[in-house]
Amino acid sequence: MQPHAAVRRQPPGQAGTGPGVQAGLEVARAVTAGLERKVTSAIRWSAVNSLVQRLGQVGVGVLVARLVAPEQFGVFAVALVVMNIVMSISEMGVSVALVRTERPVEELAPTVTTLSIASGALLCLVCVLGAPWFAGAMGTPQATGVIQLMSLSLVVAGVSAVPGALLQREFRQDHKFVADTSAFVVGTTVTVVLALLGFGAWSLAWARIATNLVSTGVMFAYTERWYRPGFDPRQARELLSFGLPLAGASLLVFGVLNVDQIVVGGVLGTVQLGYYLLAFNLANWPVAAFSQPVRSVSLAAFSQVRDDPALFARTFARALRLLALATVPACVLLAVLADPLVRVVYGERWAPAAQALALLVVLGALRVALELGYDYLASAGRSRAIFVIHLVWLAALVPLLALGAHVGGLRGVAAAQSVVVLVVVVPAYLVAFRPYGLRARVLGAAVARPLLGGLVMVAVALGVEQLVEAPLWRLLVSGALASLAYAAVVFPLRHEVLGLLRRSNA
C-alpha cells in the first residue's frame, strides 16, 4: 500500500489549502500510515507463524507417515473430509461480518457469540448421529468413531469464533502466533505418543481436538474483553443476510477442495485415498506457508481501503505480486521434484503419491491467488458473487473428477482439478473483478516476472534430471540450481520485499 495514495496533493495557491484542509490531509496520512504499520507488522508475525507451523508439520508429517500405514491415513482422510465440509458453515459466516464491520464491536459480538455457539453445537449433534451414514457413503465404515470424536471440534470452533475474529480485526497476529505455537506443541505430542502406541487414525483425531482446545484457550487469554451470549433479532437478521451467502460459499469451497477425496475414496479405495491425501497436503504447502499469512490480514486490510477504488485495486495487485514471488518457486520445486521428494523424505511405500503431486501443485499455486480474490470480494460485500463462483466451480468439477478417476487414476483426478480452475474459475473471478478496475492485463503484469522465473526453474530442473539419476542428488542439485536461476530472474523486484521489511521494522 502507498501511504500517500489515499489523499491528493493540491498545488499551493489553489482552493482547499486552508488550515482545516491541511489538518485533514495530515490526519488522513497519519491514519493510512498507521494502518500500513499494523498490516505489515501483522504480515510479519503471520509469516513467522506460518513458517514455524509448516516446518513443524512437515517434520511431524514425515514421522507420522512412517508410523501410520497408508490405509489409516485414508480412514483419517474420510473423517477430515466430513469435518472440513461441516466446519465451513459452523458459524454461518457471521464472524467475517465482525471483522469487517464499521460499527462498535460490542453491539454485534453478543449476537455473533450466540449464533456461533448454537450452530456449532447443532452441527456437532448432526455429525455424531450421521457419522455411520457419512462413513458408509464414502466406503469406509471404520471411520465412524473418528468422525464422532472429531465432531467435538465444531463446538470448540463456535466458542472461539469471536475471539479469533477480534484478533484478526485488530491485526494481532503476534497473539495468534502464541496460540498456534502452543496448540502445535500439544497436538504434536498427542499425535506422536498415540501413533507410537498404535492408535493409527485415532492419534490424528485426538490431536485435532487437543489442538483446538489449546488454541481457543490462548485466544481467550489474549482477548481484552469477553462477550457473553446475547441476541438481538434485528442484528441477527443483518448478520445472517451477509453471513449465510458467505457460509454457503465456504461450504462450496470445502466441497470443491474435498470432493476429490470423496471421489478417490469411492472409486479407487482407501489405500489410494491415503496416497492422495499425502500428495494433496504437500501440494498445499505453499498455500499454507505463503497464502495464510496474507489472508490473516487481507480481509481486514481490504475492508479498511475499500472506499478508495484506486487504492483498493493497487493493494490487491501488490499483494498478489508479493504472493507470487514466494509461491512460484515453491510450487515449481514441488512439481518438478515430486518423485525424488516423496521417495527420499517419505519412503518408497509412498511413491504412488508422486504421480498426483506434480499436477496438484498447479491447483495449489492457483489457490493462492483465488483465496486472495475471495477476501477481496468479501471485503467489498460481494458474498453472493463468491457463492455463485464456487457453485459453478463445484458443478463443473464433480463430473470431471469422476471421469479422471476412471480414466487416469490419481493422475486423472489431479488433472481434472487444474483444468477446471484454469478454464472455469479464473475467468469467473476476472468477471467479478471488473467493477473494481481489476483487469486481466493488470494482474498479469503483476505476476509476469515471477512466472517467467518459474519457467526458467523448470528448464534448469529438467536439465539436471538428464544428468543426475540418484533421487537424493537430483533433489539437492536441482533445488539449488533452480532456486538460483529464479533469484536471478526476479532480482529486479527485490525492492518489493525489502520495502515491506523496512516498513515492518520502522
pLDDT at 10 over 60: no
398 against 11, higher pLDDT: 398
Q: What is the pLDDT of residues 252-305, one digit of tens each?
A: 766 777 788 778 877 887 778 878 888 888 887 776 676 666 665 555 566 666
Q: CA 282, CA 118: separation in Å to the nearest integer?
A: 35
**Which of 242-251, 314-323, 334-343, 451-460 bottoms out in mean pLDDT, i.e. has the lowest?**
242-251
291 against 378, higher pLDDT: 378
Q: Where in the chain are the domains? A: 68-231, 246-506
CB contact at 8 A, 143 and 196: no
CA distances from 273 to 180, 353, 398 (A): 28, 10, 17
pLDDT at 13 over 80: no
Residue 76 pLDDT? 77
- Confidence class of residue 243 from pLDDT cuts 50, 70 and 90? low
Residue 18 pLDDT? 45
> What spatial distance separates the first Cα and last Cα of the chain, rounded to whole Å?
15
Q: What is the pLDDT of residues 175-192, one digit of tens each?
A: 777 887 888 888 888 888
CB contact at 8 A, 340 and 477: no
**Which of 43-47, 322-326, 343-347, 421-425 bottoms out in mean pLDDT, i.e. has the lowest?**
43-47
pLDDT at 315 over 70: yes
**Residue 4, Cβ neighbours under 10 Å: how many?**
12
pLDDT at 500 over 70: no
pLDDT at 71 over 80: no
- Grid cell, residue 61, equals 508429517
Residue 504 pLDDT? 45
CB contact at 8 A, 402 and 267: yes
Tell me the DSSP string of 299-330. HHHHHHHTTSHHHHHHHHHHHHHHHHHHHHHH
Q: CA 261, CA 283: separation in Å to the nearest integer?
A: 14
Q: What is the pLDDT of residues 189-240, one digit of tens each?
A: 888 888 888 787 888 888 888 888 888 888 888 877 777 777 777 777 776 6
Residue 304 pLDDT? 63
Residue 484 pLDDT? 92
**Residue 35, Cβ neighbours under 10 Å: how many?**
18
CB contact at 8 A, 305 and 315: yes
Residue 16 pLDDT? 44
Which of 218, 254, 225, 210 is closest to 93 using CA atoms? 254
**Backbone torsion region of residue 347, taken as left when φ is above 0, otherwise alpha when ψ lies between -120 and 50, otherwise beta:** left
Residue 498 pLDDT? 57
Q: CA 319, CA 249: separation in Å to the nearest integer?
A: 23
Which of 9, 66, 98, 99 is closest to 302 using CA atoms? 99
Arithmetic mean of pLDDT, 117-135 = 85
Q: CA 293, CA 51: separation in Å to the nearest integer?
A: 9
Arithmetic mean of pLDDT, 39-44 = 58
R_g (Cα) of the chain, nearest Å: 23
**Taking all residues of the chain, what is their mean pLDDT, rounded to a whole number?**
75
CA 60 to chain centre: 20
Alpha carbons within 13 A on the beta-carbon side of 311: 18
The torsion angle over the Cα atoms of residues 21, 27, 29 and 33, rounded to 10 degrees, is 180
Residues 6+ apart with CB under 8 A from 339: 351, 354, 471
pLDDT at 23 over 50: no
Q: CA 55, CA 33: separation in Å to the nearest integer?
A: 33
Q: CA 3, CA 165: separation in Å to the nearest integer?
A: 26
- Confidence class of residue 456 from pLDDT cuts 50, 70 and 90? very high
Q: CA 476, CA 472: separation in Å to the nearest integer?
A: 6
Arithmetic mean of pLDDT, 54-70 = 64
Rounded percentage of the chain residues whose pLDDT exceeds 70: 70
- Grid cell, residue 443, equals 494482474
Residue 455 pLDDT? 92
The torsion angle over the Cα atoms of residues 307, 308, 312 and 313, rounded to 10 degrees, is 130
Q: How big is the CA angle at 173 (ends 377 and 243), to the nearest 5 degrees?
A: 35
CA distances from 222 to 42, 163, 350 (A): 16, 8, 41
Q: CA 187, CA 377: separation in Å to the nearest integer?
A: 34
pTM summary value:
0.59
Long-range contacts of 468-476 (CB under 8 A, 24+ apart): 471/339, 471/340, 471/343, 471/344, 472/340, 472/344, 474/337, 474/340, 475/337, 475/340, 475/341, 475/344
Residue 496 pLDDT? 64
Which of 404, 397, 412 is closest to 356 using CA atoms? 412
Q: CA 55, CA 188: separation in Å to the nearest integer?
A: 13
- Confidence class of residue 14 from pLDDT cuts 50, 70 and 90? very low
489 against 67, higher pLDDT: 489
Arithmetic mean of pLDDT, 443-457 = 88
Arithmetic mean of pLDDT, 136-162 = 82
